[in-house]
Structure 1
Amino acid sequence: MTTISLVRHGRVENPEEVYYGRLPGFVLAEKGREQAAAAGRFLAQDAVSAIYHSPMLRAAQTAQIVRDQFAAPVPLVECALLNEIHSPYDGLPVAEMERRNWDFYHELPPPYEQPEEILARVLAFFERLRREHLGQHVVGVSHGDPIAFAILWAFGRPASTMQKRQLVECGVDDLYPAPASISTFRFSDTGALLDYRYHCPHAIP
């Protein structure tokens, strides 16, 4: 059995309240560091072979803090398949994105990503890890929408903005993957998905 845990990065320092997307330089807030440490302590209960992470700084920082909670160090590997979505809205005020109802995808041309393209690269990540880490537990630090679409896939639902708002029906009590939450997918040796679990360690008393 191969286990893959997708961790959303911790809360980001964002005093200007912008949608940061793929903008460089956004670091974890102190709260985000605490959240990442809680995720690491939870994951340290099992043997983890490697931690992959998005190229974004906040994801790399989360990965490092998660690893710091382990009794022994494991490899950290940057992986573009886990990257934040590619959209034209980086830098827009959060208030503007809220007015858009956080819809990143409506009628956008290439090279901007659509949900099915984002899901395709997450599934490619799963396939890579099933080949390279058969029978092991591996962590991938990514971002909200890539993880949300992977959850929908696990429940046989299409990757879309509308379905993304129904994640509570997929066991996501926080309605959307919370910062430093853990979405764990377990696969058989043949690659079949066995089960999916959602945890938010920093919310557990």
Structure 2
Amino acid sequence: MRDVSDKLLHLVRHGEVYNPDKVLYGRIPGFRLSERGHEMAEAAALELAGSDRKIAKLFASPLERAQQSARPISSVFSLEIQTEPRIIEPTNFFEGMVNNGPDAAFKKPRYWYKFWNPVRPSWGEPYRNVAARVREAMDDAWENTRGGDIVMVSHQSPIWMAHLDIVGKPLPHNPAKRRCDLSSITTFEKRGERWFEVDYRNPAAGLVDDAIDVGAV
């Protein structure tokens, strides 16, 4: 990746979670990285280290999988992990329910009433709220960081909301078509008052094919 500026902001998704029941874990405590998830997190840390850029600050969502995914980055760059609640996973009605295969909760007619407004969406935190809080966290980190890049370890939905909002696309979307793989790195730069997306990398691509990735609806 070319050096776009002396400061970039990288949104890193956490690695695979140990989730044998394939439920939508959302904000439920106790969901940790799988063994493969730790390998993915290491891959993201090595990718950042290989970019030969200084990382000045490291933030992570308060959820355990994000904190665990931030640790290899913390180790490589000798940085403290700062917890940033504004980049947490959105709330979701389907938390704790099966979200994969024929038994997925969203396929059951008794739950279809939760889909009455996919634009909001009616099953969880409004997309606009998610985008706003993530961008606010990005703005604050950018304004308060000097002399290096910023890394924020978050989740698929918050990262994708920031992406859509920054590139000027509608926030309502098909969750199955998000370009935000496990341990991927989406990179942004702020020029004046405007954010630009400048790169997307998938350092754990070789580990993703067999991974259990139960994305939110």
TM-score in terms of structure 2 length:
0.79
Matched, 1:187 2:190: yes
SS across alignment from 1:49: strand
Q: Is the 8 A contact 1:19 1:97 kept in 2?
A: no
| Among 142, 147, 155, the residue aligned to 1:143 | 155
Letter aligned with residue 57 of structure 1: E
Matched, 1:62 2:69: yes
Q: In the TM superposition, what whole-angstrom CA distance separates every residue of 1:140-164 from its partner, at most 9, and x where no partner exists?
A: 01111111111112321121134x5
- Quickly say closer, same or farther: Cα 1:52–1:64, change in 2 above 3 A: same
SS across alignment from 2:189: strand
| Among 77, 92, 95, the residue aligned to 2:82 | 77
Counterpart residue number, 1:198? 200
| Among 109, 125, 132, the residue aligned to 2:137 | 125
Counterpart residue number, 2:28? 23
Counterpart residue number, 1:99? 107
- Quickly say closer, same or farther: Cα 1:30–1:98, change in 2 above 3 A: farther
Structure whose alpha-carbon radius of gyration is higher:
2
- Quickly say closer, same or farther: Cα 1:134–1:160, change in 2 above 3 A: farther
Give structure 1 stretches of 5+ with no counterpart: 167-174
Q: Is the 8 A contact 1:28 1:58 kept in 2?
A: yes
Q: How many Å separate the matches in 1 of 2:38 and 2:116?
A: 33
Give structure 2 stretches of 5+ with no counterpart: 208-217
Counterpart residue number, 1:35? 40
Counterpart residue number, 1:172? none
Counterpart residue number, 1:157? 169
TM-score in terms of structure 1 length:
0.83
Q: How many Å separate the matches in 1 of 2:116 and 2:67?
A: 30
RMSD: 2.6
Counterpart residue number, 2:57? 50
Structure 1 segments, 4+ long, off by >3 Å, are 103-112
Pairwise CA distance, 1:32: 0.6
Q: Is the 8 A contact 2:115 2:121 kept in 1?
A: no
- Quickly say closer, same or farther: Cα 1:129–1:19, change in 2 above 3 A: same
Deviates more, 1:141-150 or 1:152-161: 152-161
SS across alignment from 2:141: helix
